[in-house]
Amino acid sequence: MRFVKITAVIYTLFFNYCHTYVIEKVTTAVQHAEGPFWCPETKNLLYVDTFKSTLHRINVDNKKDQQFLPLKNHHSIGFVIPINCELERYLVFADHDVYYLKWSSNRTALKKILTIEENKPMNQFNEGKADNRGRVWAGTLTRQKDLGVASDGGSLYMIDHNLKVHLKLTNLSISNGLVWNKCHTKFYFIDSATKNVDAYDYKEELGSITNRRTVINIEDAGFEGIPDGLNIDLNGNLWIALFGGHYVLQVNPVTGEIIRKIKMPATYITSVIWGGNNFETLFVSTSRLQLNREQLEKEPEAGSIFAVKGLGIKGLRLNMAIIKI
């Protein structure tokens, strides 16, 4: 385990939607920041540097040094979900393997507990979340050698408490953002290649998704890039990260109306989650992977995670996983 000193700075200030909000840089830049997770019990922010196969953890509240943990002999880490934040127990989804991780200040132990899609060696986990019952929904894609993505090679799975894998969606290109409404009756999902954000009816007990319909198509709405990470606020509105599109969008999932847009100091936005005190802060992860030297000079903080404060709205806490190890 290694440590890196972090200096948080206020990046810029905006006025929008009758609220003044601040965008603050809270981590140093990495190549491709993804999969943030806020642990309110410890005030820790977890995230991954995907193609460096590295897990990061920082206490944002008191600005302690950042800890990072490289995972050897892997091409990528898609995301991490805590089993218990206070006991520092996590699930790590790397390539197409799932690991149980104990990560404390004086001890690190990693154990492989599951492998999926063994017949597809180029596939890897990309994005995932735990549902309200602690089952993990995990999406895959087919990664090419140039880090591009092959069409229709991915799937979406639900992994239950006993590590039984249930197939939910197939023929996906980039299985990406997913989230549930607070009543657990709707499921929202992104296959980035379609540029759609889709809605499904959701039955919590069975974990079933039916009746797909499109909430919004990013291209039709006039935005560049593709939809990537996805989250929801207490009012039931969606928050969408645009990879290659500069913006985070707040969207009404019933009408498809864009309520507001937040331009970030990076082109490639990867994910959005709620955290901080009372879940009033929107943490936004970004990437510098596809930027050339000239672009990096214009976006020196790309690859950082930013905190957007003062939005005047609260979000939902992410669920931890419940797995029998």
Q: Which residues pair with 239 in a beta bridge?
A: 231, 250
Whether 228 is catalytic: yes
78 HSE (CA, 13 A, CB side) = 29
Q: How big is the CA angle at 273 (ends 88 and 68), to the nearest 5 degrees?
A: 40
140-149 long-range CB contacts below 8 Å, 24 or more apart? 140/96, 140/116, 140/172, 140/175, 141/172, 141/173, 141/174, 141/175, 143/75, 143/76, 147/51, 147/289, 149/173, 149/174, 149/193
What does each C-alpha distance from 171 to 69, 179, 274 come to in angstroms? 33, 20, 30
Cα dihedral: 160, 163, 169, 173 (round 10): 130
Q: Tell me phi and psi for residue 193, to 5 degrees.
A: -60, -25
Helices (H), the chain: 293-298
Residues 6+ apart with CB under 8 A from 277: none
The radius of gyration computed from the CA coordinates of the chain, to the nearest angstrom, equals: 18
State which H helix or E strand residue 245 sits in. Answer: none
Catalytic annotation, pick one of 49, 131, 228, 233:
228
Q: How far apart are CA 324 and CA 55, in angstroms?
A: 23
DSSP state of 52: G
Known binding residue 228? Answer is: yes
Convert 2-21 to b/e letters by CB count within 10 Å (16 or more is b).
Answer: eeeebeeeebeeeeeeeeeb
Neighbouring CB atoms inside 10 A of 170's CB total 11
Residue list, annotated binding site: 34, 126, 176, 228
Question: Where in the sequence numbering do the catalytic residues fall?
Answer: 228
Residue list, annotated binding site for substrate: 126
Residue list, annotated binding site for a divalent metal cation: 34, 176, 228
